[in-house]
Amino acid sequence: MTLLVTGGAGFIGSHVADALVEQGHEVHVLDDLSSGQRHHVPEAAPLFEHDIRSDAAAALFAEHQYDGLVHHAAQIDVRRSVEAPRFDAAVNIGGLLNLMEAGLDNGLQKVVFASTGGAIYGEPDYTPQDEEHPLRPVSPYGVAKLAAEKYLHYYQHQHALDAVSLRYANVYGPRQDPHGEAGVVAIFVGEMLSGGQPVINGSGEQTRDYVYVGDVAEANLAALAYDGSGTFNVGTGRETSVNELFRMLRDETGAEVEEAHGPAQPGEQQRSVLGAEKANAELGWAPRVSLETGLARTVDWFRDAFEAEPT
């Protein structure tokens, strides 16, 4: 297939692009490099440096007749979405619609969309949260992801097109930005390997479901191969507190740091853990990398990266 991977210079999108190239697909990357890095784009994939909201991005569909769109470009910062909801919606909803309208005019057959399980359900009524759990996003970011899923449902209904939304848990692994607002694993590892002091927000008893980026890339392959449409959680069912994560990373890095707590983030969700039975049953996907193994790989990668270019 000829595929357009948006956000393919970013953390998750670049792993997805690598996996698709490896599978023999012709991959093009669309990324404005607002947070992505040119060197993360696979060598075999041309990079088109445009904003997903632009006419230049839309024009790619007429030029290349993509079979599939794998959509990872986004405004990903939940706090920024609270400060600037119109910007968040312009990128995360408007950008998707710009690409979809152009795609549908040019024979697009399939869309895989990077949605969120962490921000779309809200505080759990029960755990693990499955796809039937009520949707109560409490940030503009979560609301926009939900709207994007609904637009895809509309497009799928109105046009001969398959759309798969993957609701990711907290994704971690090599290439995640250690200086970003999100991505606690990368932030903690970055601090620990550079002699800094990671700060745990609040009590640290808040829990998340951490899924390794290689497993997420495999979920994208499964979604592309899937003959149909749907919404699937991509998580592990394992709930880990920030305090536990801190200790695991301290052991793995060997850093001599104390557990330090800062103020709680206002409105921060207390628990999140996703059941992925539906993805297992319908896509044949299950996570393969345990948290222990994934954290070890991540620390190794950051160690090498920091040695090559100390921060």
CA nearest neighbour of 249 among 204, 287, 218: 204
Interface residue list for ligand NAD (CB under 6 A): 7, 9-13, 31-36, 51-53, 72-76, 91, 95, 114, 116, 118, 168, 170-171
Q: Which is nearer to ligand NAD, 229 or 233 (CB)?
A: 233
- Nearest distance from C-beta of residue 186 to ligand NAD, angstroms: 9
Which of 141, 155, 168, 210 is labelled catalytic? 141
Q: Which is nearer to ligand NAD, 259 or 267 (CB)?
A: 267
Q: Does the annotation mark 141 as catalytic?
A: yes
Q: Which is nearer to ligand NAD, 166 or 283 (CB)?
A: 166
- Nearest distance from C-beta of residue 7 to ligand NAD, angstroms: 3
- Nearest distance from C-beta of residue 36 to ligand NAD, angstroms: 2
Q: Which is nearer to ligand NAD, 87 or 257 (CB)?
A: 87
Q: Which is nearer to ligand NAD, 118 or 128 (CB)?
A: 118
- Nearest distance from C-beta of residue 68 to ligand NAD, angstroms: 16
Each as own residue / partner, the long-range contacts of residues 189-195 (CB below 8 Å, 24 or more positions apart, any chain) are 189/249, 189/253, 189/298, 189/299, 189/302, 190/302, 190/311, 191/257, 192/249, 192/250, 192/253, 192/255, 192/257, 193/253, 193/255, 193/299, 193/302, 193/303, 193/306, 194/306, 194/310, 194/311
- Nearest distance from C-beta of residue 89 to ligand NAD, angstroms: 12
3-state helix, strand, coil in the chain (%, to 5): 40, 15, 40
CA nearest neighbour of 240 among 128, 138, 132: 128
Widest distance between CA atoms in the chain: 57
Q: How far is CA 9 from the centre of its chain?
A: 13
- Nearest distance from C-beta of residue 160 to ligand NAD, angstroms: 25
The 3-class SS string of 194-254 reads CCCCCEEECCCCCEECEEEHHHHHHHHHHHHHCCCCEEEEECCCCCEEHHHHHHHHHHHHC
80 exposed, middle or buried (CB, 10 Å; 0-12, 13-18, 19+)?
A: middle
Q: Which is nearer to ligand NAD, 80 or 257 (CB)?
A: 80
Q: Which residues are catalytic?
A: 141
